[in-house]
Structure 1
Amino acid sequence: MSHVQTPPGRAATERVDGALLGRLRELGVDADASSRRLAEYAYDASNYRVSPVAVVFPRNVDEVVATVRACRETGTPLTARGGGTSMAGNAIGPGVVLDFSRHLNRIRGVDEAAGTVDVDPGVVLADLTRRVEEVTDGRATFAPDPSSKTRATVGGSIGNDACGNHSVRYGRTSDHVQEIDVVTVDGARLTAHRTGLRATDPDDRVSIARAAELTTSLRRLAQDNLATFRLELGRIQRQVSGYHLEHLLPEREFDVARALVGSEGTCAVVVGARMTLVPKPATALLVCLGYDDIVDAARDVTTILEFSPAAVEGTDEAIVETMRFRRGPDSVLGLPAGHAWLFVDLDGDDAAAVAAEADRLLVRLATDGRLVEGRAVPDLGHRASLWRVREDGAGLSSRLAGGGESWPGWEDSAVSPNRLADYLGDLRLLLAEHGLTGVMYGHFGAGCLHIRITYDLRTEQGRTVFRAFTRAAARLVVRHGGSLSGEHGDGRARSELLPLMYSADLLAAFQHYRRLWDPVGILNLGSMTEPDAFDAHLALEGVPARDWRTSFDLRAVGAGSEPTEATASAPDPWVHAVQGCIGVGRCRADTGGVMCPSYRATRDEKDSTRGRARVLQDMVRGARTTGDGWRSPEVREALDLCLSCKACATDCPAGVDMATYKAEFFDHYYRRRLRPASHFSLGWLPRWLVLTGRVAPLVNAVLATPLGKLAAVAGGLTTKRRLPRFAPADAWCREVAAAGVSPAGAHGDRDAGAVLFIDTFTRGFRPEVAGAAARVLAGAGEPVTCAADACCGLTWISTGQLDTARKRLAKAAAALDDGTNRPIVVVEPSCAAALHTDLPELVPTEQARRVAARVRSFATHVAERAATGWTPAPGRPVPERVVLQTHCHEYSAFGAGPQRAALTAAGVQQIHDATGCCGVAGNFGFEAQHHEISMQVAENALAPALRESGPGAVVLTDGFSCARQIEQLDSTRSGRHLAQILDPGAPVHAGAATPISDDPTNGNEDTP
């Protein structure tokens, strides 16, 4: 096996690129060669970066054939890609990248009788499973379930022979392939099946001839290597490294389909597949087992396997601690004592029998003496939280709560399960020998270990350690009878190391097999045979040193407030922050959590958190794709559809906070440049509210005339959305006073139990909510002080006017720092989040940190009080049904649970979560150029929830922007703040809210 040749010079490459793009246009294929797109697709979830020359999103198989033909004619490499979640570098390449996930993603038919499903390669695994279970009424399912199943595709799973959490029971993707439709480099359309190969179209003579020729050659290859294939391949369950040529043996009935699985796109382009289904057990029970040590856990695996589990997954405490650090203590529920854990899934047809089996397992393990604590987890909520810890392991382990970072590279080696504990013990010694630490998790029941390692890939010294350790680790796993790869494939990460695992004869057979399929050598270069060096094309290498001055304090921190030693030698904080995205792609999932709302609306990589992060990573590299740094129009374009919802700061396992990065970039990009009009009309909104409050009736009257639309256009606002009515300046004071609370300022009564912060939005648009909040807090039996003489600076943050935002926040910190620890209860959740999160990052002082630690959203405070035994709205009838729209910033800063907990404590019986961004997200939905996408985002969750809930349900929208979207979607309803629902002094409201008045004052002149 040898390295590929040095690529041609830039001038020669540009000639090839031009010829390719011209040929694609002639063939009617739309190829995107924009610099932003090339940056997005230069990465997958691995350590590598290889920039393509174009990206194609084929709409049908004919476009795939045309693209392959153009690449062959011009000698351009071609890489097929699904969700782009490969951890071995299998989904990036130097030529054309074919992304199947955008258009070729149909489920063509489920045949329950035959036990098969016919799919396009771009179908997401979780979507496939959901569809199969719907069609079969839960009788059957699709088995492979890797942790990335919410964004990984069938084509990618075929390419890598993906497995998943339940592989103990169901094996690998290759165990579930019936037929695979492919396009070869010469344009033939073939179908590989369980006993051979045929032309996909029985009337296609060219493909018939190619199928016959290839069949003859493959049979000869198998016959010439009978002993080699039998002795070296298929030795353990997770032997994924290399080609799976044992399936070509006579005793395997010449199974060409299964031999193609795991070929990583190096042989042909997958354009369709028939996959097999499995029966779905009627019941399942998770058993969670706690151990002192990950090796102790591995030693119990062989015992656990005697109980025929469907899954045996392992994780360690570093991942659990990071989950709790990032998403709150309630994000991990039902975990027994220990420092390492196994998640064991037992299933069957009878729930009682499964529970009894779980009891027997626990008794057996307790007798063996390694188990610290074990418990069955019947609660579905607890079970979901535990599985999420495991499924987010790759991202959580990359940026740990205790500080530092870790990377893939040796992340999925495998041994026989009975060798796993010994292998882990030896691997830990090897890590220590090289001064490294590994965060371990994985498919313990199948002997497959995932590990993230604290490599320093930015320095030559660190890369020297990486090279030495990786070679030593490869030799170690081979000594244990294992495989370099147990799931993710060899790719760029391990292909160079295959000679340590396989004989020269087998390697020669691998190379011959690949050339039979791809004689011109253009498919997925750099992997399998003729590999690139595993330390070539590292994404962290070659990033130039530069002082990227930022307004936000982006220094990496651990569980404390100070930068950690592990990150002290890291690059500039801005570089370190944007390199946090490691490509796991959870932002491309359409279920679970809130991110990424724009991607869920457009299904385009450029609108995902990952896509934006990759463009920023190219920016700090000084890559030609985004070479203007802070002034780069490509980066500005990439960030345009980010709603600044901040959901990624919580939902992204690696903690990427794109809203912060967007604000920072805009701050630099627009310095000494003309800003959009909306940055003044909306960005300066708190200033305008001071003026409009003095003449609110007049302003509202003018806005109700055609002049209102002219004002909107002048301010860069959409005319398709009704502007809110402005409240008189003193309306909120009268509301609070009527509730028996004096608006005397935060320092007014230091013996008060809480400070009620009346934010700018509430003062300017919803003063009635201030009164309701004051009455609720007063009803909790705690003295309340009111504060309203500060601003959180949110509108300046979201438009990237950070000098002003910092000044506003510094004044807010000074106003609110009263020398007590009283909670500061903020009515508007976006303002609460700004004071809680952005304040200490923009004003990194002890005073700011003190104030931020005291800040609560209104819902969080109510939930905390309810947890101590207080009943919200005692004696007050509450709605039977509530549609809950949690503001994105509340979700990010305070979690998804407080509003539900408060409603439950108040006695609300039916709560329907409209989980997802409403689409307005502060400025975004009011800006003219973003109105359409804002409404598309609403269709992700909120609009369907409104349609399904019916007119009798109250809609809870603590966020002002969410309330505006409700009114836009349904003029007969308006969102209600939690304070209004719980308000003991307000009239009882039935389901639908009163429509907004056409009165220009909107009822704001008089206290309700």
Structure 2
Amino acid sequence: MIETAVDSTSLLRALAEVGVQADASTRRRAEYAYDASNYRVVPVAVVFPRSPDDVVAAVRVCRETGTPIIARGGGTSMAGNAVGPGLVLDFSRYMNRVRAIDEEAATVDVEPGVVLADLSAAVERATEGRRTFAPDPSSKNRATVGGAIGNDACGNHSVRYGRTSDHVAEIDLVTSDGARLTATETELRATDPADAASAARAEELTASLTRLAQEHLSALRLELGRIPRQVSGYHLENLLPERKFNIARAVVGSEGTWAVVVGARMKLVPKPASALLVCLGYRDVVDAARDVTTILEFSPAAVEGTDAAIVATMRHRRGPDAVLGLPDGQAWLFVDLDGDDPESVSAQADRLLERLGDNGRLVQGRKAADPAERASLWRVREDGAGLSSRLASGGESWPGWEDAAVAPERLADYLADLRELLDSHGLTGVMYGHFGAGCMHIRITYDLRTEQGRAVFREFTRQAAELVVHHGGSLSGEHGDGRARSEMLAIMYSPEVMAAFAESRRIWDTVGILNPGSMTDPDPIDAHLALAGVPEREWRTSFELSPTSGRDPWVHAVQGCIGVGRCRADGGGVMCPSYRATRDEKDSTRGRARVLQEVVRGARTVEEGWKSEEAREVLDLCLSCKACATDCPAGVDMATYKSEFYDHYYRRRLRPRSHYSLGWLPRWLKVTGRVSGVVNAVLASRLGKAISAAGGLTTKRALPRFADAGEWRKEVADAGAEGSVVLFVDTFTRGFRPEVAGAASRVLGDAGELVACSADACCGLTWISTGQLSTAKRKLAHAARALDDGTDRPIVVVEPSCAAALRKDLPELVHTDQARRVATRVRSFATHVADRVSAGWTPSPARPPRKAVLQTHCHEHSVFGAAAQRTALRAAGVEEIVDATGCCGVAGNFGFEAEHYEVSMQVAENALAPALRESGSDATVLTDGFSCARQVDQLDPTRPGQHLAQVLDPGHHR
């Protein structure tokens, strides 16, 4: 942990006196000690500015107290650019507005915390698709404009559109002495012309920077701006006379070491009318790179690439259909061609494929015209950073040398030499990146946990820097230098240029408080590594968490988060519903994982191990939806981690009341089923709310009707003990929705199945989600014994959450062959029905709906995939499907708990509530999950949710 001389109490007091609220809690500092890099630097405090005035006030206090300042957006930096020892300014929470769009001038006025994908979407809406914002890094759905300016980010379409510095018109800045300045393409001026002090500072800076450029004319011309992706170092070439003192472009890429960005006017570009993705398969990445120069002759908008390991991991984690339309090969290029009309673009693609075939390296190429295929292929590339970090084959890989760039014509030779260098150190590199721009992203299998492994990391990085310089390249082509590469800049640049870099920084920041440790006077690349210094300790767990290299499974699991931040994105999956509702880092999967990482460190920021109050606090709003297990590119399963942590945290402690009322629900259902009439009458009376409150439940949500114990048996009276498929009627279905069991039995019969029925077990879900794992293991072990009948018949489970528990949690908690045998047989109802459709069966529902709102249960999405229900609905003749992708907000016990009700309703507003409002009253609402059905009842009592079995019900008995 980097120590500063700052007295945090004095700092907080001084900030409060100028109206700036800072958070110096140990939990908050833990969340912001990391970004997406290898580094961990604990800040003194975090501020969420609401205006430039807040920034000015905070900067002046930091100058007076000698406190470092680290400006941060989405926190997705892979080079350690967004962590530091002082005061972190997080702009993504409040300063995230698109202020004005000027289509005629082709500019957009933004605050620094606006997410890049949100910016592009806003521009396209305002201009009716005529213009867009071009830079589109793979992290665009959580990375911010301020971060893109800081690193000079590029993106998948940089072959056409270049870097962020190519799209900046003006940048509003706050300097370390509190001046408010605006950098333009020709000058530096006071943001407010009436601000005399800022005007004087602008004149002083202009004179000093002009003098600096004059003194180093030759070196700047010879060494800077040589290749398209030369991002390393400061962009001082933009101060040269021939660049007309383009100070705005010079500021880009300064990584928050010159000034703090508080606003910008960015340039817009026309959006192509037509685009087509061409996917090309090769034997390896070197062959792919050798064809890049040919591809560039066809003026593509993008030339991106990935290798087989990333594709295999995507399919392993998200199912075989997660990657569609991939041609044969072991490495692939994704080439985006665009133009005015589809026919000409398609013809251009045909010519490209013919040329590449003549080159003799292409294994197979094809046009991906289908939108679903196109989206699937781009997601493989965009999730490369996370997927490559935790591969299906096992092991870990890390950034550090993930961002070097060379001229495109030298890429193949560079990659061939780099593979030899990796081999010489016994390392493996998983490769993906911007082939068309010569910028290669590589995750490497360093062992950063041991002293020997860190020595290899250091020596390899030095030799890799020498190698890329030998090929005329840049240490960084997009991510910046940060803590990962700044120490190596002297390998790339002459002493004169390095001196110019240092002088430029002193000119801007005379007291040296802006983002220390990177660019000039950097910390060593192997200092402050997050994996170093984690103490050895045995962390006993109930869940079987796959270990790596023999290390502690719990430590490895929680360190699986590498900070890419997809959990902070609005789209591309279901996670993380609580973050989408609150927009607070503590409620993201990443924020939770970072606090758990501090727990295993035994760090001063978070203490007490399994009894850590900070960890309990960040896990409190986790809905245990399990979506992160699939949607997180690194496969972080926070629902499992929460369950494990709660099991330890509450040992020999009184639990929340809801853990007894809802956590023990299957036990209570045995009683209520016998006297359901009385129970329902009592709960419907005034006494019902008092009972709910006594159980820790919200009084704002109506409790469901309890079914009579014998109802479900009547529904499945036709099912027997023998059959081709076992229909497992779970506790929730027996206790609350017995009619669904009958519908499921009839649908399976209609599909040609002979249905056997089982209901003699419980999946233990309520005990799992509340972290009562001793009971959960007993319940699951009993379920395994009851269902292990010596056959391989599919076990079809009506409730998706129970199916997920039997499929995933059963073998992880009950470590027997019997448990594993049963788990492999378990299928959700929707998955089994979709398979029957694929085998040729056509559903024949008695009352097929024309339109349906599709709410896929989170556990279904995570464990079984999200396509099955849609497949079944289409086969049944449903004409229009309104997608409500996202957690409903109830998520088992969560939405019924008094302290979580409001957040559960906020979560519903992410997707489900808008879909209900926009779908119209004639749409059937599909809710396979019992929790989802309860939320629909709350949102729209006139349209009760229906299980897929009820929608497909043929309406007759066999």
Measured against the shorter chain, the TM-score band is: over 0.9
Quote the offset at 1:414 in angstroms.
0.2
Partner of 1:871: 842
Quote the offset at 1:7 in angstroms.
6.4
Equivalent in 892, 902, 905 of residue 862 of structure 2:
892
Partner of 1:143: 134
Equivalent in 674, 683, 689 of residue 703 of structure 1:
683
CA distance in 2, matches of 1:985, 1:305: 60
Equivalent in 911, 915, 921 of residue 881 of structure 2:
911
- Superimposed CA distance per residue, residues 748-780 of structure 1 (whole angstroms, 9 cap, x where no aligned partner): 31xx11000000000000000010001111111
Equivalent in 739, 757, 771 of residue 728 of structure 2:
757
Partner of 2:442: 451
- Superimposed CA distance per residue, residues 185-241 of structure 1 (whole angstroms, 9 cap, x where no aligned partner): 111100000001000001000001000111011110011110010000000000000
Equivalent in 748, 759, 774 of residue 777 of structure 1:
748
RMSD: 0.9
Quote the offset at 1:625 in angstroms.
1.6
Partner of 1:619: 599
State whether residues 412 and 450 of structure 1, in contact with CA within 8 Å, keep that contact through their aligned partners in structure 2: yes
TM alignment of 1:123-522, pairs within 5 A: 123-522=114-513
Partner of 1:20: 11
Report runs of 4+ in structure 1 exceeding 3 Å deviation. 6-9
Aligned residues between the structures: 957
- Superimposed CA distance per residue, residues 639-674 of structure 1 (whole angstroms, 9 cap, x where no aligned partner): 000000000000000000000000000000000000
Consecutive unaligned residues in structure 1, runs of 5 or more: 1-5, 557-566, 743-747, 988-1008
Partner of 1:48: 39
Quote the offset at 1:315 in angstroms.
0.1
State whether residues 2 and 41 of structure 2, in contact with CA within 8 Å, keep that contact through their aligned partners in structure 1: no
CA distance in 2, matches of 1:496, 1:61: 32
Partner of 1:549: 540
Quote the offset at 1:986 in angstroms.
6.6
State whether residues 847 and 951 of structure 2, in contact with CA within 8 Å, keep that contact through their aligned partners in structure 1: no
Q: Does 1:717 align with 2:688?
A: no
1:635 corresponds to which letter in structure 2? A
Partner of 2:794: 823
- Superimposed CA distance per residue, residues 537-574 of structure 1 (whole angstroms, 9 cap, x where no aligned partner): 00000000000000000024xxxxxxxxxx233x2100
CA distance in 1, matches of 2:412, 2:804: 45
1:17 corresponds to which letter in structure 2? S
CA distance in 1, matches of 2:549, 2:759: 39
CA distance in 2, matches of 1:285, 1:408: 31
CA distance in 2, matches of 1:208, 1:626: 45
Determine helix, strand or coil for the equivalent of 2:942.
coil
CA distance in 1, matches of 2:920, 2:499: 66
Partner of 1:655: 635
Quote the offset at 1:877 in angstroms.
3.9
CA distance in 2, matches of 1:363, 1:814: 60
1:792 corresponds to which letter in structure 2? C
CA distance in 2, matches of 1:616, 1:242: 35
Determine helix, strand or coil for the equivalent of 1:912.
strand
Partner of 2:657: 677
Partner of 1:840: 811
Partner of 1:68: 59
Partner of 1:592: 572
Quote the offset at 1:973 in angstroms.
1.3
State whether residues 980 and 986 of structure 1, in contact with CA within 8 Å, keep that contact through their aligned partners in structure 2: no
- Superimposed CA distance per residue, residues 256-283 of structure 1 (whole angstroms, 9 cap, x where no aligned partner): 0000000000000000000000111100
Quote the offset at 1:834 in angstroms.
0.3
1:782 corresponds to which letter in structure 2? E
Equivalent in 831, 836, 860 of residue 860 of structure 1:
831
2:556 corresponds to which letter in structure 1? H
State whether residues 746 and 956 of structure 2, in contact with CA within 8 Å, keep that contact through their aligned partners in structure 1: no
Q: Does 1:530 align with 2:521?
A: yes
CA distance in 1, matches of 2:372, 2:587: 31
Q: Does 1:82 align with 2:73?
A: yes
Determine helix, strand or coil for the equivalent of 1:644.
coil
Partner of 1:972: 942
CA distance in 2, matches of 1:7, 1:894: 44
State whether residues 331 and 385 of structure 1, in contact with CA within 8 Å, keep that contact through their aligned partners in structure 2: yes
Query: Which stretch of the first structure deviates more once superposed, 876-885 or 513-522?
Result: 876-885
CA distance in 1, matches of 2:749, 2:214: 85
Determine helix, strand or coil for the equivalent of 1:781.
coil
- Superimposed CA distance per residue, residues 110-150 of structure 1 (whole angstroms, 9 cap, x where no aligned partner): 00000100000000000000011111111111000000000
Equivalent in 931, 950, 962 of residue 920 of structure 2:
950
Equivalent in 741, 744, 747 of residue 719 of structure 2:
741
Consecutive unaligned residues in structure 2, runs of 5 or more: none
Partner of 2:930: 960
Partner of 2:907: 937
CA distance in 1, matches of 2:462, 2:916: 57
- Superimposed CA distance per residue, residues 573-623 of structure 1 (whole angstroms, 9 cap, x where no aligned partner): 000000000000000001121000000001111110000000000000001
Partner of 2:585: 605
- Superimposed CA distance per residue, residues 498-556 of structure 1 (whole angstroms, 9 cap, x where no aligned partner): 00000000000000000100000000010000000000000000000000000000024
1:773 corresponds to which letter in structure 2? A
Quote the offset at 1:492 in angstroms.
0.1
CA distance in 2, matches of 1:980, 1:171: 53
Determine helix, strand or coil for the equivalent of 1:624.
coil
1:313 corresponds to which letter in structure 2? E
Equivalent in 541, 549, 553 of residue 568 of structure 1:
549
Quote the offset at 1:455 in angstroms.
0.3
Query: Which stretch of the first structure deviates more once superposed, 27-36 or 701-710?
Result: 701-710
TM value normalised by structure 2 = 0.99
CA distance in 2, matches of 1:510, 1:393: 32
Partner of 1:997: none
Pick closer, same or farther for the CA change 1:613–1:7 going to 2, 3 Å.
closer
CA distance in 2, matches of 1:574, 1:216: 57
Identity %: 76
Quote the offset at 1:847 in angstroms.
1.0
Quote the offset at 1:168 in angstroms.
0.2
Quote the offset at 1:906 in angstroms.
1.0
Quote the offset at 1:706 in angstroms.
1.4
Quote the offset at 1:93 in angstroms.
0.5
State whether residues 398 and 405 of structure 1, in contact with CA within 8 Å, keep that contact through their aligned partners in structure 2: yes
CA distance in 2, matches of 1:340, 1:847: 39
Quote the offset at 1:844 in angstroms.
1.9
Equivalent in 891, 898, 906 of residue 921 of structure 1:
891
1:889 corresponds to which letter in structure 2? H
1:546 corresponds to which letter in structure 2? R
1:902 corresponds to which letter in structure 2? A
Determine helix, strand or coil for the equivalent of 1:288.
strand
Q: Does 1:639 align with 2:639?
A: no
Determine helix, strand or coil for the equivalent of 1:55.
strand
2:840 corresponds to which letter in structure 1? G
CA distance in 2, matches of 1:450, 1:59: 35
Determine helix, strand or coil for the equivalent of 1:190.
strand
CA distance in 1, matches of 2:520, 2:266: 28
Quote the offset at 1:860 in angstroms.
0.4
State whether residues 290 and 340 of structure 1, in contact with CA within 8 Å, keep that contact through their aligned partners in structure 2: yes
